[in-house]
Copies of this chain bind each other. A is one copy, B any other.
């Protein structure tokens, strides 16, 4: 490899890593837009803290478990670590949405620490660290399974132990609609995630110093964009048909479902196939959201439907459409990673629950955890009328 090639490959990781970092902002905006006003400070605090803790925990422990000794030549580059660490944080970000509006802060952070230091890197090693799934030929280009469904399984384990938000499901079993508080924020978050995904998927080529590498990255950018666009239009049409109204939160989740779906293999399909993969991913997510609600798995932002369901679909789609990849190996990879992450996460959540509890008190939940746990309302728009303790407006 020439010096220029080394420079180009390194710069790709830095460029893409910075974009993936920005996905942390996207998750924070998306989730804070979808929860209620009274729980907004909480979700913002969780998002910036989980990103930070994930970085520290993956640096201190996780990277070594996933790729071997950090001083080792091949993987030791700071640029590579920077790119990898922002992926871990993405997996952790998925969880914060699902457990929103009722989980205590520090127990959540404890789980993020365990996920980033141990659970994520152990399963990541099986494929990206050169482990047994890699040897079997399991194909997950940028992490439909390794990042997105992993976050989904960990979130599912948590929410089963945590339970639904108070008042979400009535005594008659009816699901009460809890409206999102700030749709411009949620939309911004979706656009930021979409932007970051170019780095997430494009950077996963890991090199751009040959013509074939940079051509692959071009294909990845284009397919990523088109799968997302297809997910959006699909969601608009489905919600129009089913509910007689285009539903913006569903449309946002359609975009994300398209993105998650294409993530396992954005490099091989034609554009038309990428569009089909996005359409199916979005459609499955549109079905999964009411389905999870029906079985009373209360997921305030739809993260399970987007990251777990579309993540599985995207991984299997590689097995269906890419002739070089075995469908059964894909299924096996999805299953073994899912089983491992679900079980280890469940045990981790369970231990935390026994030790300190996961859930805020009913009183705090009713009041909103912003005031109860964080002491600050997210919005104080009535300050035109506020009088401070000195009697001064």
Q: Which residues of A contact B (CB under 8 A)?
A: 3-4, 6-8, 10-11, 13-15, 17-19, 21-22, 24-25, 28-29, 32-33, 36-38, 40-41, 44-45, 47-49, 51-53, 55-56, 59, 77-79, 81-82, 85, 105-106, 166-167, 170-171, 174, 176, 178-185, 187-188, 190-192, 194-195, 198, 202, 208-211, 213-215, 217-219, 221-222, 225-226, 228-233, 236, 240, 243, 245-249, 251-252, 255, 271, 275, 366, 368, 373-384, 386, 388-390, 392-393
Contacts and interface: CB of A to CB of B under 8 A. Distances in A.
Copy number in the complex reads 3
Given A7-B211, A7-B214, A19-B18, A376 B229 contact: no
A14 B380 contact: no
Nearest to A236: B49
A246 to B, nearest CB: 6
B187 A184 contact: no
B105 A49 contact: no
Nearest to A42: B248
A225 B21 contact: yes
Contacts of A191: 22, 24-25, 28, 48
B246 A374 contact: yes
Nearest to A167: B392
B6 A214 contact: yes
A377 B56 CA distance: 39
A386 to B, nearest CB: 8
Contact of A48 (B105, B252, B384): B252
Contact of A376 (B176, B188, B247, B374): B247
A253 to B, nearest CB: 11
Contacts of A77: 215, 218
Contact of A380 (B179, B195, B243, B252): B179
